[in-house]
Amino acid sequence: MTTLSQLKQRIDKLIEKQGEESPCAAFIYTKEDIVQFDDDGNEVEIEDNKIIEDVLYNVQDSDWIYDSINDTIDDQLSHRS
């Protein structure tokens, strides 16, 4: 799993290499995105960091996400050829 500090370091390196105005697309999920809802539809905060870490690790490790993004990139590029 990646921490926000590690992500910041990676972004700083990308900015150094590609420039501050380089275009990008980003999807960032943090512990604030890992929520549950009670029977009344109210958001219930998950306080167990282990659960949050496990969920975020599985999101990060999902090949479906990477495959879907790569398919979208390939599709967009094929329309421009």
Sign of the C-alpha dihedral computed for residues 29, 10, 49 and 60 taken in this order: positive
Q: Is 53 inside any structural domain?
A: yes
Evaluate whether residue 5 is within a structural domain: no
Count of structural domains within the chain:
1
Q: Is residue 28 part of a domain?
A: yes
- For every residue of 28-75, DSSP letters joined together read ---GGG-EEE-TTS-EEE---HHHHHHHHHHHHT-HHHHHHHHHHHHH
Residue type for position 43: E
- Give the pLDDT of the chain (81 residues) as one tens digit per residue: 889 999 999 999 999 999 999 999 999 999 999 999 999 999 999 999 999 999 999 998 888 988 999 999 999 999 987
- Do the domain assignments include residue 14? no
Q: Whole-model pTM?
A: 0.74
Rounded distance between C-alpha atoms, residue 33 and residue 31, angstroms = 5
Residue at 3 is within a domain = no
